[in-house]
Amino acid sequence: MSAAPQHKDEAPDDSTAPPLAIAGLEAGYGARTVLSGVDLRVPSGIVTALVGPNGAGKTTLVRAICGRIPPRAGAVEVCGAPAAEGAARARIGLAPQDIALYRSLTIAENLAIFARLAGVDRARVPACVAAVMARTGVAERGGERIDRLSGGWQRRANVAAALVGTPRLLVLDEPTVGVDAPARADLAALVRRLAQDGLGILLITHDFAFAEAVADRVAILAGGRIALEGPLEALLASRFPRRRTAQVTFATTPTPAGRRALEALGLRGDGHSEHFTGTLEDTPEAAGDLIAALRAAGLSPRTIALEAAGLDALYEDVTGESRR
């Protein structure tokens, strides 16, 4: 990361401190407590994916990180500074879920505005814009209006805007919304590159495939705290040793009796869907045994897949919510 101060608010930070350190955070609104003891650390060069059910408090956590709501207890530090302080805010780049760009302006024009807002000296704005465009790979579209760009390019531009102040912590809030498959791969490569550059990255997402593709670590927010955190592979190995995820789909929603039979086999759906998931012992007979058990229950699935357990299995195990 560039160490040269680029703008007036850029206070020197404690470069040995992690980009983000949250300890015992309690936060909420009025009488409502949303976060009740969140501990989370995002080191430099690491992508941490934060997942959690709707309403778990992910947005509230982002607000606390950006210093927009004060901790009721505990601490949120960005590069060693309390989140409410200017030195912390100057070190955070937030790419919000809603694209935060002027739609009728070009990428370069947007970045120039954000650079000025971040306090970059007028004379240094063109160099800053060029550097950010090169870093995020948007230079080839720099002269195009935001509203003429695809979802993928808009998301990239949104990330570029978050980087104009040379942050050490990048917060990506649902960066794959509206992005098609090829552009998702490009976005994943960009996120990995930014982490390799040394940024600490907090990725808030419902897109588990993207999280699995880019994250070094995952954190599951549930019940007001981080219920589980660590490298995905290690978490899977400890939670599901020799387990496989079973995905079973039906042409139509099974009857209540069929659903009860599926539940007895350890397969859960969301109540309305044709998709059921569960985890099974990873044995050579697992597939055959499952097919036989489904037949015995009078169920004829359209597809059956046995996969290595992934983030969705972990999420379901921790939150009790099915992702399918």
Which positions touch ligand ATP (CB under 6 A)? 29, 32, 34, 52, 54-60
Cα angle vertex 113, ends 110, 119, to 5°? Answer: 140
Q: How far is the CB of 53 from ligand ATP (least distance, A)?
A: 7
Between residues 51 and 169, which has the closer beta carbon with respect to ligand ATP? 51
Beta-strand pair 47-51/303-308: unpaired
Q: Which is nearer to ligand ATP, 18 or 53 (by Cβ)? A: 53
Integer Cα distance of 103 and 116 in angstroms: 18
CA distances from 178 to 25, 146, 191 (A): 32, 14, 17
Q: State which residue, 57 or 167, has the beta carbon closest to ligand ATP.
A: 57
Please classify residue 213 by burial: count the beta carbons closer than 10 Å to its beta carbon, then call 0-12 exposed, 13-18 middle and 19+ buried: middle
| Minimum CB distance to ligand ATP smaller for 135 or for 206 | 206
d(CA 82, CA 73): 13
Whether residue 119 contacts residue 8, with contact meaning beta carbons closer than 8 Å, is answered with yes
- From 15, 24, 53, 18, select the one nearest 202 (Cα to Cα): 18
The residues with which 193 forms a beta bridge, in sequence order, are: none
Residue 314 CB coordination number (10 Å): 22
What's the closest the beta carbon of residue 98 comes to ligand ATP, in angstroms?
Answer: 12
For 42, residues 6+ apart whose C-beta sits below 8 A from its C-beta are 18, 19, 20, 21, 48, 169, 200, 201, 202
CB of 211 to ligand ATP, least distance (A): 14
| CB nearer to ligand ATP: pick between 16 and 54 | 54
Minimum separation from the CB atom of position 60 to ligand ATP (A): 3
- What one-character-per-residue DSSP string does 101-151 give? S-TTSBHHHHHHHHHHHTTB-GGGHHHHHHHHHHHHT-GGGTTSBGGGS-H
Min separation Cβ 65 and ligand ATP, Å: 12
CB closer to ligand ATP out of 49 and 56: 56
- Residue 58: both structure tokens together: 């992910």
Beta carbon of residue 250, minimum distance to ligand ATP (angstroms, whole number)? 28
Decide whether 56 or 226 has the Cβ nearer to ligand ATP: 56
Angstrom distance (rounded) from CA 163 to CA 172 = 11
- The answer for residues whose C-beta is within 8 angstroms of residue 260's C-beta and 6 or more apart is none
Q: How far is the CB of 32 from ligand ATP (least distance, A)?
A: 6
Q: How far is the CB of 59 from ligand ATP (least distance, A)?
A: 3
Q: Which is nearer to ligand ATP, 52 or 175 (CB)?
A: 52
